[in-house]
């Protein structure tokens, strides 16, 4: 079995475990598969949780934990009614004192809670779902308030929500909050984990004690044992149930939670265009020392460093643009603004737009055999910096390009200057690989793009640098092309996204493709894996310089 402390690739690990189950399926293998389910849930890999739980249940239909996690995966994938069907059968099959029965009841409550929040203006559906969620959480919590504290936190939040919308709550939220605080405080410190800290913080928030809530959230956020799943669940609860951003100091807590998610090896902090704009405005208007001090209030000693890192990331997002079809407005890829000088080129304003060849090229040729997505010609494309405003910029000309068999990049000049956007800095130095660091550190990269053609989103999940073909030990397999492999998940629409190094938010590569499997490894290593691939800015700049030198020699000859 793999070391649970080691980084892992959820799709690859799941595929390997499913193969083992099909080959053997003995109790030992099933137990290891269930342990992997827990790891997958911790990193929010719910597609893989569902796939693996399905295979476990085929071999051991009565495996309670696998059934429960299967139900949870259905909820997370947006299928709450299917989850309710699975979980109700499981709950009713178990004796009253079985610990998994209460967990199943809590997840039934969670499924109905999702339906409540998704009901929109349908008051009848919302009320029905809310009542069922409250009933499920209440039964579980009252059966054993100490063991089922998380059900109590959800009961607390939904009871407060019921009062907020004018419905009668089945319990007194303040009484539940006091009970939760008493239960957590009665535990020895060594027995308090992330869930206990988050539960106590939420209870303090419910009682209106913001100072105490802030201190308790600080304990949660500085707990190195808090997983991406726990952080993400807490953030979702605060935003949806408690409307935390409408409270004084709430923005700082949300930002701190996003920072912690972004810096988790398996975290995923996704922000919409409106959220990026609002956060950038808040960070720009705030006094750095004051804002950093508020970050320290919830992130501890790392607050100032985290604040600077987050602020820099928000600023970089402004220079990332969507590439659209100028007729339909459909997003077809991503681009970013940098300087022409960074690639050895010249433009009147030193501005340069970078995207993929398979997004924009002179011929507008088909380059994706699977989707048959046609690249845009320059006169068909527009570039929009959505984190700034909705202004469309037309393309004046292609300055340089290299097809998708080599660098897969197109460098564009826009018809007019982009004002008030700082071009991204590039760095030709690639990060050291894990084996070169030699201290157990996992090097990381970050990607900003428009995944799936949706709004601007940060992609921070599982962004481990896997390998690259750069100096000193790289062995490029395509002459003049230096590829970079990493595990940050990207979708169609992310093509042309900048890939940043960790510390200083400098562009080291241009994302161009990826997949959950079938990517040949780099440097002549035999085998395939799930990875995303980018082309280093260094090799692109080098190709331009070499081409210019050849042109100069030809002109002199």
Per-residue pLDDT of the chain (557 residues; tens, 9 = 90+): 444 445 567 888 899 999 999 998 788 999 999 999 999 998 888 999 999 999 999 999 889 999 999 999 999 999 999 999 999 999 999 998 898 999 999 999 999 999 999 998 899 999 999 999 999 999 999 888 888 888 999 999 999 999 988 888 889 999 999 999 999 999 998 889 999 999 999 999 999 999 999 899 999 998 988 888 889 889 999 999 998 987 877 888 888 888 888 777 656 677 888 888 888 888 877 766 676 677 777 777 667 778 888 888 889 999 999 999 999 998 888 999 999 999 999 999 999 999 999 999 999 886 666 656 789 999 999 999 999 999 999 999 999 999 988 999 999 999 999 999 999 999 999 998 888 887 777 888 888 887 666 666 665 554 789 999 998 888 999 999 999 999 855 555 588 999 999 888 999 999 998 876 778 899 999 988 888 899 999 999 999 999 888 775 444 44
CATH number of this structure's domain 434-544: 2.40.10.10
The single residue listed with the structure tokens 């987050």 is: 310
* Res 94: pLDDT: 94
What pLDDT does 306 receive? Answer: 80
Phi (first) and psi of residue 236, to 5 degrees: -60, -45
Chain center to CA of 451: 11
> Cα 261 to chain center, whole Å?
8
Q: How many residues does the chain have?
A: 557
123 burial (CB, 10 Å; 0-12 / 13-18 / 19+) is exposed
CA 278 to chain centre: 19
* 3-class state of residue 306 by DSSP: helix
Judge contact between 325 and 332, C-beta under 8 A.
yes
Contact yes or no for 364/379 (Cβ under 8 A): no
CB atoms within 10 A of CB 135: 16
What pLDDT is recorded for position 4? 46
Portions of the chain given CATH number 2.40.10.10: 434-544
Calculated CA dihedral for residues 486, 490, 491, 494, nearest 10 degrees: -100
Give Dmax (Cα) for the chain: 90
* Distant-in-sequence, close-in-space partners of 179: CB < 8 Å, separation ≥ 6: 145, 152
Query: Taking CA 81 as the corner, what is the angle to CA 76 and CA 83, rounded to the nearest 5 degrees?
Result: 55
> Tokens representing 263?
């810096």
**CB contact at 8 A, 140 and 184:** no
What is the C-alpha to C-alpha distance for residues 171 and 343, in angstroms, rounded to an integer?
A: 64
- Other residues' Cβ atoms within 10 Å of the Cβ of residue 1: 11
Q: Which CATH class is domain 320-414?
A: mainly beta
SS (H, E, C) 208-247: CCHHHHHHHHHHHHCCCCCCHHHHHHHHHHHHHCCCHHHC
| C-alpha separations of 132 from 81, 98, 107, 114, 240 in Å | 12, 22, 12, 11, 18
CB 469 within 8 A of CB 482: yes
Q: Which residues contact 347 (CB under 8 A, 6 or more apart)?
A: 340, 399, 413
| Secondary structure, 3-state, 113-126 | HHHHHHCCCCHHHH
Q: Model-level pTM?
A: 0.81
């Amino acid at each position: 079995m793999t070391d649970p402390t080691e980084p892992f690739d959820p799709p690859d690990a799941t595929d390997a475990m499913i193969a083992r189950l099909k080959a053997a399926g003995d109790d030992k293998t099933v137990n290891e598969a269930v342990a992997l389910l827990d790891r997958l849930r911790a990193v929010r890999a719910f597609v893989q949780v569902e796939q693996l739980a399905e295979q476990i249940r085929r071999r051991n239909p009565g495996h309670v934990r696998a059934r429960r996690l299967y139900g949870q995966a259905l909820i997370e994938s947006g299928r709450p009614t299917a989850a309710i069907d699975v979980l109700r059968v499981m709950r009713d099959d178990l004796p009253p004192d079985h610990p998994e029965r209460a967990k199943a009841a809590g997840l039934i409550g969670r499924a109905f809670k999702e339906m409540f929040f998704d009901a929109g203006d349908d008051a009848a559906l919302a009320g029905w779902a809310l009542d069922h969620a409250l009933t499920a959480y209440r039964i579980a919590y009252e059966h054993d308030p100490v063991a089922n504290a998380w059900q109590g936190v959800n009961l607390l939040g939904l009871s407060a929500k019921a009062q907020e919308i004018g419905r009668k709550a089945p319990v007194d939220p303040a009484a539940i909050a006091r009970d939760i605080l008493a239960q957590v405080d009665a535990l020895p410190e060594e027995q308090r984990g992330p869930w206990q800290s988050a539960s106590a913080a939420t209870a303090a928030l419910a009682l209106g004690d913001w100072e105490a809530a802030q201190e308790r959230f600080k304990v949660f956020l500085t707990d190195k044992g808090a997983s991406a799943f726990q952080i993400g669940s807490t953030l979702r609860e605060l935003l949806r149930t408690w409307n935390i951003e409408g409270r004084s100091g709430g923005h700082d807590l949300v930002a701190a939670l996003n920072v912690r998610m972004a810096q988790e090896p398996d975290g995923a902090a996704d922000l919409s265009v409106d959220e990026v704009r609002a956060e950038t405005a808040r960070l720009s208007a705030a006094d750095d020392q004051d804002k950093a001090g508020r970050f320290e209030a919830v992130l501890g000693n790392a607050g100032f460093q985290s604040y600077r890192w987050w602020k820099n990331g928000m600023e970089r997002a402004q220079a990332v643009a969507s590439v659209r079809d100028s007729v339909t407005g459909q997003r077809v890829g991503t681009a970013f603004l940098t300087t022409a000088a960074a690639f050895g080129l010249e433009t009147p304003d030193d501005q340069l737009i970078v995207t993929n060849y398979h997004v924009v090229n002179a011929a507008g040729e088909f380059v994706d055999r699977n989707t048959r997505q046609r690249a845009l010609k320059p006169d068909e494309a527009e570039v929009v910096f959505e984190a700034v405003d909705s202004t469309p910029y037309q393309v004046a000309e292609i300055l340089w390009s290299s097809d998708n068999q080599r660098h897969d990049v197109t460098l564009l000049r826009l018809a007019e200057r982009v004002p008030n956007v700082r071009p991204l800095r590039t760095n030709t130095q690639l990060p050291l690989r894990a084996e070169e660091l030699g201290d157990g550190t996992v090097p990381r990269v970050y990607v900003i793009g428009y995944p799936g053609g949706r709004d601007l989103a940060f992609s921070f999940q599982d962004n481990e640098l896997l390998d690259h073909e750069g100096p000193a030990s790289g062995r490029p397999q395509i002459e003049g092309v230096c590829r970079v492999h990493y595990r940050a998940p990207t979708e169609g629409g992310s093509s042309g996204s900048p890939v940043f190094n960790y510390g200083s938010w400098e562009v080291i590569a241009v994302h161009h493709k990826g997949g959950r499997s079938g990517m040949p490894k780099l440097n002549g290593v035999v085998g395939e894996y799930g990875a995303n691939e980018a082309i280093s800015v260094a090799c692109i700049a080098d190709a331009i310089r070499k081409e210019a030198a050849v042109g100069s020699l030809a002109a002199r000859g």
